[in-house]
Every structure is written in C-alpha cells, then in structure tokens.
Structure 1
Amino acid sequence: MTRFPLRSDIIGAIFGQTEGLFGNTLDLRELQKSGRLGRIDVELNVKENKTFGTISVPTGLDQATSALLAAAIETIDRVGPYNCKVQLESIDDIREKRRKLIVDRAKQILQRWSADRRTDSAEALKAITQVAKVPEIVSFGPDNVPAGPEAVSSRELIVVEGRADVANLLKAGYRNGVAVEGVTVPKSVVDLTWKKDKVTALIDGDRVGDMILRELARVGKVDFVAKAPKGREVEELSPSELIDLLDRRQPLADYLARLEKVSKEPAEEHLEERAPKVEVRERAPREVREKFSAEIKEKLKPYAESVQNRLTSFIIGSDGKVLAEVPVIELVEKLKDMDGVHFIVMDGIVTQRLLDIAQSKQASMIVGERIGELERRPPGISIATLKEILS
C-alpha cells in the first residue's frame, strides 16, 4: 500500500467493498447489529513510505461463513486513492482458546479440590483409625487395678473381674472399664463407683461372678448387671457378643430378684451341676502340684515370667520350642489350627472351653494366671497357675 491512508479509510473500504457481495449473509452492519460481528480493529505501521497494517475482525459466525468473510475482505484492492493488497494471515478460533483456558483452569480447580478432599479423607481416616485402635490398659488407684483409659473421666463405668476382661472391653470399643481382681472390691474402685452416673457390673457366667456382684453391690454403687452366658467368661466373648450383652443389661434390682428366686428353687439338677464345679476348683491345684516335676517347672518358668501382665500366651511343642505367641483373646482360635501342642502358658484364665480344645490337641499341661470354673477335668492334662510355676 503506497502513501499514507488512515485507519478510518481502511475500515470504510472494508464495509464499502464487501457490501452486497452475498446479500444479507455478509452485510457487516447487520452482522454487527445482531452481535455476530465485533468491532473491526486496524493497526498501522509506516515503513519506507509504505503503510503496513493488521486487520482484526472478531466474529461469532460459523466456520464456513467466517471463511467466506475472510475471502471477501481479501478482494479489497483500494483504500481511497491508494492501491492496496489484503492477504489472510490467520484465522484464530477464539472459542477454542477460551475452551483451552477453561479446561486448564478446571484442571487447576480439580487438582486443588482433590488435594483438599484427600486431606479431608486423610483426616477422616486418621480419626477413624484412632477410634479403631485398641488403647492400652492403665493402672488405677493405689491398688494399681487394670482399667481403661477413660474409666476416671467417663460418666459411666463398667466393673469387671480381671485384666483380661478390661482388655476385651477395649477391643469392643469400651474404654471405661475397671477390674476388681477378686471377690474383695478395692476401696479405690468402690469410691469410683459413687462418682459415676451409671455403673454396670459385667460378670462371668458362673457363681464367682454372682459373688463379686453381691460384694460390689454391698460396698459400692451398681445400677445395671450384664452376665455372660452360663459357663463362659467375659474374656471369651467376641466384641459383637460383648456389645449385645451390654445392650441387654438389666437393672440391679431385677437381676437380684431373679437370682433370689432361682436360688430358692429346690431343683436337684442345680445342686448336681454345682457340686462337681466346687470339687474341681478345690482339687485341681493339689493334683497339679503332685504331677508336674521340677524339670517341667524349670522349663516353663521363663515363659511364665514373660507372659505375666501382658495378656499373651505361648504355645510350646514337645521339644520345648515356641510354636506360636498369641494374645490370650486369640488363643482358642489359634489352637484350632495347630498340631504338636505340648504346653500352653498364658496370662489368662484356664476355662473349660480352653481345656477341652487343649485336650483335643493332646496337650499335656496348661499354665494360666488362674483356674476358672470347671465342670469337668479331661484326663491326661495337668493344670497349674503362673504363681505355682514361679514359686
């Protein structure tokens, strides 16, 4: 383009020389009125007595019409008195660029959102894991009785017999248990019961459990009672069984009334059931002391020392080697899958269920923290307490 045309001259040439070429299809004024064509912009640059420029035509037309418009503008050969040449440099799809910008921004938003969600999920998982994690048993009071970490702070209290029972409560999600560890209830536990809104006595399914309940009710506060099924210990119950049992707890007065009614019934079968239990509990330790030798005592002493206050157990073969070490709560299930069992040393109660499974595995001896209520004594298997082995 020669000489120096103005920007308005070029825009006028575009409108004038394209008018009527394709009827209303390419009528630039009509297209601008409808908003399908934007403001035409021209940038000029003079160099060596020639004017060079760039024409920008924003359009919202489809591809075919946009291509037709570009071809029409290329036919412009004069601007006022000046010759000119117009050549298409490029057609840029602004919508595509906008879509790309939107997609890129969406990726950033999604990345941030996903990171936040992962953080939230991680926090939620952490919180759930903390709930599912079994806490450790703590010591309570001057007697250092086993207790759950929330036994003091909780408004409710669950009183059980021994350490293994507290451990089983923790596995079921109850952190407010405390053990009395015997028929005599420690004063610290008695005082603690009076500070609680609700106190539940969770007892074994035997006469010892009822003895502990009566003593606790005599010196302390008991609102509800939950008793394990007949012949079963609290420590033997699965977490789901334990939850169901506590859900079905009953008021103390109702339980004692029912217990009193049962005790007055002159049913000979009840007497027959109780007689051998007392005999076994009184007789078993004496029989064990007669049977196990100093050699066996010396062999089992290290294991007895190791399991004390740890709620764990050792399954030992005839060669004296440890076949497995498992928590007391898992011992019964573990024994079902094992062979070659000779000795069992555990920090828990020797129950009838454990004794029967040990006999089926041809074990020769069980050593426990104490001996539970036994209905019968299988032949060929000795029973001892940790105290007897360590004495």
Structure 2
Amino acid sequence: MTFNDTTKYLIHADVTADGVVERSDVVGAIFGQTEGLLGDDLDIHDLQQSSRVGRIDVEIASQAGQSTGTVTVSTSMDKVETAVLAAALETIERVGPCRATLEVSRIEDTRAAARREVVGRARELLSTAFDETALSSDELLERVRESVRVEDITEYEGYPAGPRVADGDAVIVVEGRADVLQLLKYGIKNAVAVEGTNVPEPIAELTKDRTTTAFLDGDRGGELIMKELEQVGEIDSIAFAPQGRSVEDLAREEALAALREKVSLRAVADAATPREVIAATDGSTRPAPDETSEVAGAAETAESPAEPSGPDAEPAPDEGGATAGVEAEPEAEPEPEAPASLREHAEDAIGGGTETVRLLDGEFAELASAPAEEAFEAVRRAEEPPRAIVLDGELSQRVLDVAAQRGVSQVIARERGQYVKRPTSVRIRTFDELVGPA
C-alpha cells in the first residue's frame, strides 16, 4: 500500500457483514452512509479532493455466508479531525444488501512508525557498519600477516603444500588443502596434504626422506590415513585433532598444543585402536598408559624378601596392624591430592562453589588463585603468564581481553558474559560444557 507524502495517520478498522459482499460494496457504504454526517468541511468526497484523506483500502473475504475484512484510511488531518472521521466510520450499519458492522481497531501515527524504523536501522548500522573501524592495530597487522601466509601456499608434486615442504628437513602430513591453509595462518609452512584417505605415491616417498609428523582429523578418516601411512610411508610421530573435530577447525593455540603433544607412531601402533591415544583435557594427544605397569608392581610385591626370622627378628604384627606388646600409633590421614587436570580443577573450584579464580600453567599445575571478583587483576599481575583459567563466576569481556593479551589458551567459567569481540586464540567453555550438566 502506498500513501502520499503528507500522510500523518492511518485509521485501521475491522468490517463484518452477514452475507457475501465485495470491496466496492464496502467503499460505497463508507461514502454513502457518512455523506452529510459531519458537515461540508469533513465530507469524505471533499477531503479526498483536497488530499486530506488518501486512498481507502479494503481487503475482504467471504466464507460460510459471512464476509470479514479490514479497512485502512490514510489522512493528513490533525488528531481531532482524524478521530472524528474514525468515529463516523463506525456509524455504518449496512454494506450492500447485508447488515454489517465496522469497528475501528487503532489509529496509527505514521511518523511514530517511521521513527521506529529509523531506530531499528540505526541499531543495525551501529553493530555492522562500523566493524572494520573497531580493529585494533594488532588485529589489523595479524590480518595482513594471515593474508600473506595464505598467498604462500604452493604445490608439491601437484598436492597443496606450504612453501618449505620442498626443501625443508621436516614435513607435516595433513588431510586436505583447508588444513594446509589453516596451518599457514598460524605460521606453519611445512605442511602437505594427501587430499583424501588414499596416500599418493609422491607423499609416501617424501615421508621416507624427511622427519615426518602426521597431523590428522579426530575422526574415522584420520585413523584410515594413519593406517595407510604405516603401510606405504615412514611416519616418525603423530598428532590428532580432538575427537570429532578437524584440523581446519582448530584455533591457533589448539593446533599448536596438539603438535606439541605429538606421540611416536609406535605408541599409537601398539594400542588396539588409534583412539586409545587419550585425548587430554586441552585437546592434545598422549599415549595410553602402559597396562604392564600394574603387573610389574604386583610382581615386585610378590618377589619382595620374606620376613626375617630368628631371635633378632622383630615381632610380627597382629591382625590389627600392631606389633605384639607394642601399642600401635594411629595412622595419619593422607593429604588430599592436588587436582591434576583441567576437569579436576573445574570440579573443585566451580563445582565446589568456591567463588575463586585459579591460574594454571601448561601442565595444569596451580600458579595462583584469588577471589572471582579480582580475576582481572590476578591475570594481569601474574608473574608467570597462565595457560588456562578456571573461574567460578561470569567471564566478562574485560577478563577475556586480558586473558588473550597474556596468552591464555583456554578458560573454564561458570557462565559466559556478553562479548562485543571474542579472541579466536582463547577457547571458552562453561563448567556444564566441560563436565556435563549435573
């Protein structure tokens, strides 16, 4: 529907007729039954001629012998005149040959509607149009560096590769071109892609001449590539992305952490399946524990020297653990072990409702702790930059920013806050996401 530029108000009315009527019947009833009702100054014919009343728009439909619809009248009159005209419309009692009622539902101020549109559009522009101007100097430089790295992608025997694959001493074998591009963004220039689960001959030959690490997706495809590399190439070590994720999806810190935690191919090959390489809390990979350690411990116990006998021998303890004739000293209660993993720290600090923040190093040993409300200062002033944070509270934008600046790779918080910008280098998880809802 279009109205002239001077329209101030829209009169919205509902019409009901006891019979089948059409649009022209409703318009005719409006002109016919209001004629002379309001005097010459407010006659609808004259008001339309002077453009003080615009088009009368009618939408009506009939069903089961009854017609219902809406009427919209635009006016450029003031509030009082518009209200009087609206009241006059409600005097209509017949439409065509049928009894009818017309009831005004609302009078809309078109300028208020326009203001709402302006406000809504201004909000959109505020949140989108100024994005690029909000980039910091560091972010701008990093984007330029990333674009240069992407442009450095080359080919090795027809397969996507970083620029140092051809003449470097070490290579990283990945699955696809997207993985090579992602690693290039992070400054890793010696990756080469096999482009599928079938390892091509040029890549297989390359692994025999270089120190080779396979960096594979954490899914069935990654396991298949690893098995084929065992057969056709020579792999020195292997790293997996976290279970169910791809190398191309990893943030910088996640990718570097997985490569730092790479294991020898022998450790993976000795396991029943590659997934027996345990995924650590930080997403890296470590070999499964050696099950023979328990057997060895049991054997050592079995082969320990027998108790000494003879007159110089100490009396044997009785069933209660005390030596005959000597009162047994009460055993000291063992001290609780310190949390050794990110999950244990989260369960202890957040699950225990301590309302504290813990700063952890790369091995998840506690560097420092403080009340949750002092998290910003604790991270900012930490002598040794933390690698992980456990926060029993809401992770605010301010704390997230200082964590990114200090090189924190992951944060576990009781709940997320509202973020204007979210650093890609920091992995954020809530307590429920890490350990599952209670």
- TM-score band w.r.t. shorter chain: 0.3 to 0.5
Q: Give the structure with the larger helix fraction.
A: 1
Which has the greater radius of gyration? 1
TM-score (norm 2): 0.29
Q: TM-score, normalised by structure 1?
A: 0.32
